[in-house]
Structure 1
Amino acid sequence: MILEALAHQYQRLIARHEPGLSPYGYSPEKISYAIVLSADGDPVDVQSLLDTSGKKPVPRRLPVPQLARTVDITAGFLWDKSAYVLGVSATSKRVEREHQAFKELHFAKLRQAKDPGLRALVSFLEKWTPGRFQSVPFTPEMIDANFVFRLDGVRGYLHESAEAHQIRMGLLADNEDEGVIAPCLVTGAFRPVSLTHPLIKGVRDAQTSGAAIVSFNLDAACSYGKKQGANAPISAEAAFAYTSVLNYLLRSDPHNRQRLSVGDASVVFWAEAQDPEQAQSCEDLLAALLSPDSKSDEGQETEKIRHVMEVVAKGRPLAELDPKLDEGTRMFVLGLAPNASRLSIRYWLCDTLGDLVQRLRQHVQDLNLEPSPWKTAPSVWRLALATAPSRGDPPKAKADDVSPLLAGELMRAILTGGRYPQSLLTNVVMRMRSDGDISGVRAALCKAVLNRDLRLSHSNVPDKEVPVSLDVHSTNSGYLLGRLFAVLEGAQRLALGSQVNATIRDRYYGSASATPALVFPVLLRNTQNHMSRIRKDMPGMAITLEKVIQEVIDKLPGEFPKHLGMQDQGRFAIGYYHQAQARFQKADKADATSNGNNDTTDTNKQGGAQ
């Protein structure tokens, strides 16, 4: 199913002449120069094909006959590096044999050619000696670069001519005749089997030379005496198609929005649509939903993404965003992870755009907290980072500390609408207890896990649902204790001001959220000392604080719980976040009122205490 979907996408992109993809038997390679030949085979010029749009010139990618070269000497057809083409190299120790192989291949295949350009190349190779590289039009910086050929006065390259393509297909057929004939698992046609598939490049942390999805090199992986790819017969054309389009989707390009990284997985996605504009609209929408904060520093782009998220969150028709968005368009999502010289499939999903958007909408709703901890909804990778330890000031997580398995399961839950991984809540709670970073993203993850579990278990008990914003009527012990902890911390900050070296959150958050009965009596006694100072300096504020503390305690059972389970510890974090943010919001309002009116009252100060 995966290879079939990739092969079909390749055919769609080739049919509309997508830049960066090559037809069967060809591949985009880095080409630096074109040798211009006269009809007699003399080099009249060497044209630079380097891309100079960046900071420094780089080779340009051109579709040329595909070359599968390992450690053996194998010449490219109508192109190659200087060692093969010209017999000149600064690194190769077998340059004479490489150049000879290039000449033998082209003498054998082009002797009977009728195309003037191909005949000119034969003449060039007959007359060429490596010593001529020292003269014009060649220069030293051309050593070890890749070359193609052109005939003087003709616009295209030699490998693009009709006869060159015909000869190239003959070369491929010669190779196929040596293989096993079997029904292709992708197309169903009886075709020569590709024993080794082209490698896939661009997967994060995989081998830079490329890795394989389909590969057999151990006897234990083979059966019935078959060798290599014959164990899973896929034709050479199908193998070329799926690997070519996968390399295209994984390409390193700042404008490539069909690829993102989540943990150790490189994720690619595409739309099944013949209309390129419709496909791009669907792919851009999915990219915005999966990674909405990827361009959060660009004001115009941020506003656009916010509008997209607003339309999606309200469940309005996608056509409001773009008339080309068809909710019935089939979408494909593939997650690949490195595994030595091979690739593992982390997840694979094919569904309609409408269903995917609905699941992503539900994911955003599950995360929703007020006040919102973010300007734009967090990407999956940003959520995964919240599960890693936070270090430094301000707290910051490292990508290497994210569990690959947890990140993969999180992505799968988002795409399928299933339960978030059970380890997610435990991981986030333990991180908050250990590093004391009770961030909005972490609180949102706790809320998302708890509410999705409740919804999927069909539990409709009102008090069990985690509120979006501060709920002063909640009677859940974990939520209430989180609120109480935030109020006690606020009293400490208010009493001691800048003299606080470490707040109660820094010292007691972990134990308070796990074993309240051991910690809260101590905290309440200490708070009386803070309240004494507040009563002297801000009596109105003291009354407000005592009222909130008493209201929360009255809703608790007779004694503080000896232990809170993992779910209640998650609610503790949410209650703490809600109460702390309410305090900050009221403080901001109080400051605004104070700045607008010199007659500051105790009421304004009271707002900042809660």
Structure 2
Amino acid sequence: MILQALYQLYQSLEANGKTTPEGMQWKPIPFVITITPEGLYVGIEDTRDKKEAPKGKLFLVAKDKKRTGSKSYETANLLWDHSGYVLNIPTDESERKAELAPLQHEAFLKLVNQLAEQHPQHEGVRAIRAFYAQQEHLKVPRELFTNPKETSPNIVFKLSNATDANEVIASDTNLVWGELAAEQSAGNEQVGRCLITGEVLPLARLHDTIKLPGGQANPSLISFNLSAFNSYGKEQGSNAPISQKASNAAMAAINVLLDKDAATNYKLGNTTFLFWSTLTHNQVVVEQEQNWGVSLDELMASYKEATFSGLINQEEEEEDAQENPSTTSKTKKKTKKEKADPTAESERVLKALRVMTSAKDGHISWQNQERFYLLGLIPNAKRVCVKLWMEGTVSEIVGNTIQHLKDLNIVSFKNRNPDEERPPLRSVYSLVRAVSTADSADKWSPILVQSIVESLIKGLPYPQSLQMACLDRVHHDGRSKYPVTELRAAILKAYINRKYKQPILAMALDLNNSHPAYVAGRAFALLERIQELAIPGVKANITDRYYRMASATPNMVFGRLFQLAQHHLTKIKRDSGGLGYYFERELGKVVNLLPGGQSALPAHFTPDEQSIFAVAYYHQKNYRDEKAEEKAAAKEVAEASEG
């Protein structure tokens, strides 16, 4: 199913000019040798640029050939390769490379002569053959290739009469396709029915590699290299008959998805997620009433931001800097680089996502049954491990992302009136960062990342591991100014509501919620505030000392905290007049929500109740307004004087 979806993607890309021709690739090549049609050496150009192209300019050339085994030196690339093949100059000063260079050069000359015989009228091939026949290659400055730090200094040829600066001889598709056809006919003794296309075609014995970041170079997605993987006497690719045509197309498609500048991939920890749809690249979504259009690439970029990468949220970055001082410098650099308004950017992304899911009002240009795919890959030595494969309609999967954002919507210290229809973007990256103790994403748990993505895509409850990791961070950050940050409160709120499939926890403070854990969380936040007013600048408040016990074993702690609060309230009444009466009344309102008062608090809170406690604590702290307190205090003083 994965390969079939990738093959269909390649067909769409090819039809819309979004991929390279079959058998070809864009390759950074640092050196271009210019020769005349008669094969005379003209000069050599170094295409490297420190800023724009540190590895060299990109040229369209034949794909790299696989080099394996003790005689890998016999395999030369089509009219381009490194200095060992092209000029008999070793790529470094090692003795081994010095021994290989003559053998590599001989293989390259053999390929040039074969091409000259197959294409006697080809001006470029004739020129390269003459270049070597006249020993013109000896005129190339050898010192360009003697830098021991330079690895694989690739070289390509260009004719002096070429009209296009990017026109090199190796870019001729006729040469590439001719050799590709010859290789396929020679290397495919077997012909069979392809499992992807259903056609009877030459079968692939080996499959192209892919460019997956984080592992060894050029790993394989499909391979059968040991007898243990063979069955019924079949070897290598015959175990799963896939035509060479379909194999090349599927691997080309996955490399397009993996392009570093593409909006179709995101690396989180050691897992690389790829996502695409069956929507064709020339389709444009248009909001008719507002005359607003967006391309498929922009839609995929919006999905990537909403689901995986997110946008910079100033509040979250500030909280993260307080919790992890080591990341402060990185945050500052990132904030300076990206100055876009997070609210405006969030609205832009949400607008694009809603258009993707809207099929009823005629605002989009496709049927609602278009498919959406998500593939999670992890490098494993020279192979690739498929960790996640999910598919559904565009509306289903994108709609689940929107619901995910709504579930995580919660009141913030900056915005105390959250908009239910315009939730902030809270990506998978930000969720895992908020609950992980490791600073580096490479050290995050791949199981946690995968389980969050699965629940998000399927619209299911979040994994319990996310809840437990979040509670653990809250408990261990008890000495932080914000043990329950906005994002952690949002995670716990969403976890509870998705688990019980009902809005147990609201976005902002719920004055009527009588759940014991919610009441206890509110009461603890008020007790904390009372202590702060009674002892300004206290170094270790009740949150530092008692938060974990209060949220886990409330009956053991709250009796002592209420007694302590009475002393604090007495001091506030003496120093600030009516403010003490105000908080005494507020605390009483909260405690009275429990049947029987403070004695109704249980001995233990479960993890779910601890989550509710944390959200209530956050809600109550967020609800606090110093101006409102001053106003209420003044009112208490006036009432007291009247009485």
- Paired residues of 2:212 and 2:218 also in contact (CA < 8 A): yes
The alpha-carbon deviation at position 76 of structure 1 amounts to 1.1
Partner of 2:487: 441
- Paired residues of 2:410 and 2:490 also in contact (CA < 8 A): yes
Equivalent position amino acid for 2:202 in 1: P
Equivalent of 1:289 in 303, 306, 318: 306
SS of equivalent residue, structure 1 residue 216: coil
Taking a change above 3 Å as real, the CA distance of residues 605 and 343 of structure 1, as seen in their structure-2 partners, is farther
Matches within 5 A, 1:362-511: 362-371=403-412, 376-389=424-437, 397-436=439-478, 437-455=483-501, 465-498=504-537, 500-511=538-549
Partner of 2:172: 161
Matches within 5 A, 1:51-90: 51=49, 54=52, 57-66=54-63, 67-70=65-68, 72-73=72-73, 74-90=75-91
Taking a change above 3 Å as real, the CA distance of residues 358 and 173 of structure 1, as seen in their structure-2 partners, is closer
Q: Within 2, Cα distance between the matches of 1:484 and 1:61?
A: 64
Partner of 1:2: 2
Between 1:335-344 and 1:466-475, the stretch displaced more is: 335-344
Residue 244 of structure 2 is aligned to residue 236 of structure 1: yes
Equivalent position amino acid for 1:95 in 2: A
Taking a change above 3 Å as real, the CA distance of residues 57 and 398 of structure 1, as seen in their structure-2 partners, is closer
Taking a change above 3 Å as real, the CA distance of residues 252 and 493 of structure 1, as seen in their structure-2 partners, is same
Q: Within 2, Cα distance between the matches of 1:341 and 1:367?
A: 39
Equivalent position amino acid for 1:492 in 2: Q
- Paired residues of 1:3 and 1:242 also in contact (CA < 8 A): yes
SS of equivalent residue, structure 2 residue 535: helix
Q: Within 2, Cα distance between the matches of 1:563 and 1:403?
A: 29
Taking a change above 3 Å as real, the CA distance of residues 536 and 326 of structure 1, as seen in their structure-2 partners, is farther
The alpha-carbon deviation at position 68 of structure 1 amounts to 1.8
Q: Within 2, Cα distance between the matches of 1:231 and 1:403?
A: 34
Give the paired residue count: 574
Partner of 1:220: 228
Between 1:148-157 and 1:285-294, the stretch displaced more is: 285-294
SS of equivalent residue, structure 1 residue 45: strand
- Paired residues of 2:60 and 2:171 also in contact (CA < 8 A): no
Equivalent position amino acid for 1:264 in 2: N
The alpha-carbon deviation at position 108 of structure 1 amounts to 2.5
Partner of 2:34: 36
Equivalent of 1:187 in 181, 193, 197: 197
Partner of 1:17: 17
Partner of 2:566: 528
- Paired residues of 1:88 and 1:143 also in contact (CA < 8 A): no
Equivalent of 2:393 in 341, 352, 361: 352
Equivalent position amino acid for 1:515 in 2: T
Query: Deviations 1:138-189 (Å, cap 9, x if unpaired)?
Result: 7867995212222221333223336524532343234433x43332222222
Q: Within 2, Cα distance between the matches of 1:100 and 1:187?
A: 40
- Paired residues of 1:65 and 1:168 also in contact (CA < 8 A): no
- Paired residues of 2:27 and 2:59 also in contact (CA < 8 A): yes
Q: Within 1, Cα distance between the matches of 2:238 and 2:251?
A: 17
Equivalent position amino acid for 2:212 in 1: G
Q: Within 2, Cα distance between the matches of 1:133 and 1:169?
A: 30
Equivalent of 2:345 in 302, 305, 317: 305
Equivalent position amino acid for 1:244 in 2: A
Between 1:329-338 and 1:165-174, the stretch displaced more is: 165-174
Cα RMSD of the aligned pairs, angstroms, is 3.2
Residue 621 of structure 2 is aligned to residue 580 of structure 1: yes
- Paired residues of 2:408 and 2:426 also in contact (CA < 8 A): no
- Paired residues of 1:10 and 1:244 also in contact (CA < 8 A): yes
Equivalent position amino acid for 2:103 in 1: R
Taking a change above 3 Å as real, the CA distance of residues 473 and 81 of structure 1, as seen in their structure-2 partners, is same
Taking a change above 3 Å as real, the CA distance of residues 39 and 143 of structure 1, as seen in their structure-2 partners, is farther
Equivalent position amino acid for 1:85 in 2: V
Partner of 1:393: none
Between 1:259-268 and 1:532-541, the stretch displaced more is: 259-268
Partner of 2:48: 50
Q: Within 2, Cα distance between the matches of 1:406 and 1:523?
A: 37
Q: Within 2, Cα distance between the matches of 1:540 and 1:440?
A: 31
Q: Within 2, Cα distance between the matches of 1:151 and 1:413?
A: 56
Partner of 2:215: 206
Give structure 2 stretches of 5+ with no counterpart. 285-295, 314-334, 416-422, 639-643
Residue 121 of structure 2 is aligned to residue 121 of structure 1: no
The alpha-carbon deviation at position 429 of structure 1 amounts to 1.8
Q: Within 2, Cα distance between the matches of 1:480 and 1:135?
A: 79
The alpha-carbon deviation at position 484 of structure 1 amounts to 0.7
Equivalent position amino acid for 2:531 in 1: Q
Taking a change above 3 Å as real, the CA distance of residues 400 and 507 of structure 1, as seen in their structure-2 partners, is farther
Q: Within 2, Cα distance between the matches of 1:534 and 1:509?
A: 23
Q: Percent identity?
A: 29
- Paired residues of 1:216 and 1:222 also in contact (CA < 8 A): yes
Give structure 1 stretches of 5+ with no counterpart. 391-396, 594-599
